[in-house]
Chain A
Amino acid sequence: MNILELKDVSMTYGTVKALQHIDLTVGQGEWLAIMGPSGSGKTTMMNIVGCMDKASDGSVVLDGQELSKLPPRGLTAIRRDKIGLIFQQFHLVPYLTALENVVIAQYYHSMPDEDEALEALRSVGLGERARHLPSQLSGGEQQRVCIARALINCPKLILADEPTGNLDEANEKLVLEILHRLHGSGSTIIVVTHSPDVGSHADRVIVLEHGKIARTTTGALLHKSA
């Protein structure tokens, strides 16, 4: 069963064709990596799949819902209910503690539950750092808070934009281990990355060039070629 289907999706900014006639399906529980050089359309695709932008043409269906017909409020609801976002820059609310950063995701979604939020932080190894502000956490810890926040509402799809882009090797390993654990438990993951190392953990890898899918491979093959 597919959780995401893109049919003939194009995105144009003025005269710039950021995406051209993209056809893509992502199965339930699949780990997909989107790779490609800068300007290839990775971020545009991420924005469309993450309901933060609408495609100029084509159809995007997420968990059975056609996104192109939804108003902005509808897109916000999809983002809130079905997608867990992980960013390269971590993006935590600076004046809230790690725990409070996780709780606000629950707050906007449904009912806040501090115990549940604390458990999510424990699951990423941050139980002891829950009451710290982002400025008191290392980059790796901030990214793990970001992951805990993305997971707290049990999303259908985890969308990660360069999740290890700002991390050292040790923290990269930690984050990938968490993603593996999530994948193992049945979560669908889409990772946008420059790194072949990160891409090699995926079940499937698509490589974008000039807004088109240039090739498709598997993580294992990518690992071998690397």
Chain B
Amino acid sequence: MKKRLVFANMILRSLTRRRSRMLAALMAIAIGSTVLSGMLTIYLDIPRQLGREFRSYGANLVLVPAGESGIMSMDDVEEAAEYLPPDKLVGVTPYRYESLGINRQPCTTAGVRFAQVAKTSPYWRVDGSWPERSNEIMIGSDIARFTGITPGTQARISGHTRDMKPFAVDMTVSGVVGTGGAEESVVFVELSTLEAMMGAGGQVNLVEISVEGSQRELEEMAGEIGANVPGVAPRLVKRIAGSEATVLGKLRSLVFLVTAVVMGLILICVATTMMTVVMERRREIGLKKAIGAESSAIIGEFIAEGAALGLAGGLAGAVSGFFFAQLISVNVFNRSVAFDYIAVPAALAAAVLVTVLACLPPVKKAADIEPAVVLRGE
């Protein structure tokens, strides 16, 4: 019979045949580990959650022409887009601005790709609907008020082509845009339609990009585009990227603090329980030392019991922690949390470490017990 087997059997029996006391310790560890694992999952998922949240506030990266010309080619824009990670890219919206007229009133007209605008500017409030056909346009709310145009009605877009030939096209206004910003004074036309009106294509004035990533990652992407695509100059939208980084930092600090407090509480709770266990088992410890157990053997047994408790409690907590994180995420971020595999071993390791650490003071007390107490019957 192997010594290790006897050791394992002794630990197992100690845990399973003294269920009531051990269950109390196990519950303390499992509850602590649940909070720990849940917080860890939230901690790891916060960038993703906040990233998505901040994407609803609009573009965080823009491309502007590099030179004095004020325009950049779509070839350069497409080349720049290749430096953005496809799995994190939310949308790329090119803007081409022209001075045209609507119902004979001068206005700024922007050629955009509506399918992309919905992604990069999800905060737009649209009265009516988004354009679906090439002859449909959207107008800003200021223009709607000024011209009296309502969704569903016709409006005449007029102007001059690049060759200075006059044109006038009747379009259907599908929706009116409200943003509280400059967009309310702009007429929006599908880019390809505007290019056909102007008789020239392949050039834009501005590109709005919405991409998931921390401020550091965005700066890296911008740096790479700037270095490799000379025709465009990337700029971070500081108020978005900066706010995201600040909020992220604060939230992570909060979660870290809560996690540290929880770990401290587990430490105290387990240490108290183990101290009680040691006091209850003074006679057993004295007996083991009387029949020849070294102090190191007693320490090893208690540490192993602590580690086994930590492992069992940690495992239960790691699983229930995911559901705890899910509950928080759904209530706070209104989104489900992603399962992060690293959270399980991390929560397990933390539970074992904290439990073993909590066992150290009581274990030292156990090692100091004199075997003579057994004979004295104290």
Chain A interfacial positions (CB closer than 8 Å to B)? 43, 46-47, 50, 52-53, 73, 76-77, 79-81, 85, 87-89, 91-96, 100, 103-105, 107-109, 111-114, 133, 149, 153, 161
Contact = CB atoms under 8 A, between A and B. Distances in A.
Interface string B1-41: 11101110110011001100000000000000000000000
Interface residues of B, number: 30
Interface of B: 1-3, 5-7, 9-10, 13-14, 17-18, 283-284, 287-294, 297, 370-372, 374-377
Contacts of A89: 374, 377
Contact of B375 (A43, A109, A149): A43
Secondary structure of the B side of the interface?
helix
A149 B291 contact: yes
A88 B287 CA distance: 13
Contacts of B284: 93-94
Contacts of B371: 52, 79
Contact of A87 (B1, B2, B374): B374
Nearest to B293: A108
Nearest to B283: A91
16 contacts: A47-B372, A50-B290, A52-B370, A52-B375, A76-B289, A79-B292, A80-B291, A85-B291, A89-B374, A91-B290, A95-B14, A104-B10, A107-B3, A112-B2, A112-B6, A114-B1
Contacts, number: 86
Contacts of B291: 79-80, 85, 104-105, 108, 149
Nearest to B16: A95
Nearest to A80: B292
A161 B375 contact: yes
Contact of A47 (B3, B5, B375): B375
Nearest to B287: A91
Nearest 5 Cβ contacts at the A-B interface: A80-B292, A95-B17, A52-B372, A108-B292, A112-B1
A108 B290 contact: no
A46 B7 contact: no
B211 to A, nearest CB: 60
Contacts of B370: 52
